Amino acid sequence: MSLIKTQGIVIGRRALGERDRLVTFYTRELGKLSGVARGARRGRSRFGAALELFTWGELVAFEPAQRDLVRIDHFDVHRPFQALREDLERLGQGAAMVEALARLTAERDPHPALFGLLLRGLRALERGSPRRVHLAFTLRLLDLLGHRPRLDRCLGCRRPVGAGAWSFDATQGRLACARCRAEGALPLSTPALATLRRLQTSSWEERLATPLAPAAGRELEGLLERYLAALIGSALRVPRFIAQTRAVARRGP
């Protein structure tokens, strides 16, 4: 049985039996890693509230021979990011970030830059615009994983982006002009396309500071959601939760 010590961020958890919990971390040295926290669901568990979503800490676990799941020994919290779980919009956008990361990466595939991106994204989410942070995170995630959308020209005729109607083909990750548009491509307004192109070429700090009109923000959320679903092969779960929380907020008490 080997010992594992690494920094990790909780990106998923669920009940396992009556007393235990299955927890998924994104770790600095090992990438995505899942393990069992024995007794974590008991009232006096030694884990306490350490295994909540988004929590960043130092993971100590044991790896039994010939088993995929590690046995979590303890998890010492560096930062709980509790405020993200107490605000529905920040919770939703943070959950969308970790779902995209979890579903686009394989178990035990180390990528330290992704760990750094997730930590930076959660920190920004505490104080910044949730929608802008989510967009900045997703664009950088796509870059790091080699899925950068092609936004400079039409995928069919190769015409550079300019005036006229444009759409985004999620299956190809590229733009198409009106003449070359494929069935199912997502139409893009001129402001949304301009904003997306500007965000893609900006630094992290510039992305977080870029003004984002509500209509353009909704379009870009829809575009990236469609693109991620095409890459993953199925729809993401969290966007529905975000839509529901926004509907409740609009209705008011």
Q: What is the CATH number of the domain that holds 51?
A: 2.40.50.140
Between CA 39 and CA 51 the distance in angstroms is 12
What digits encode the pLDDT tens for the residues 81-116?
A: 999 999 989 999 999 999 999 999 999 999 999 999
**pLDDT at residue 220 above 90?**
yes
Q: What is the CATH number of the domain that holds 240?
A: 1.20.1440.120
Domain boundary among 32, 54, 80: 80
Whole-number average pLDDT of the chain:
92
Q: What angle do CA 209, 212, 217 make, to 5 degrees?
A: 130
pLDDT confidence of residue 196: 95
Record the pTM: 0.92
Domain boundary among 80, 97, 124: 80
CA distances to 39, 54, 63, 74 from 19, in Å: 5, 22, 20, 16
**Interval 167-195 mean pLDDT:** 93
Range of the domain at 34: 2-80
Same domain? 51 vs 143: no
Same domain? 140 vs 89: yes
Between CA 222 and CA 88 the distance in angstroms is 19
Domain boundary among 37, 52, 80: 80
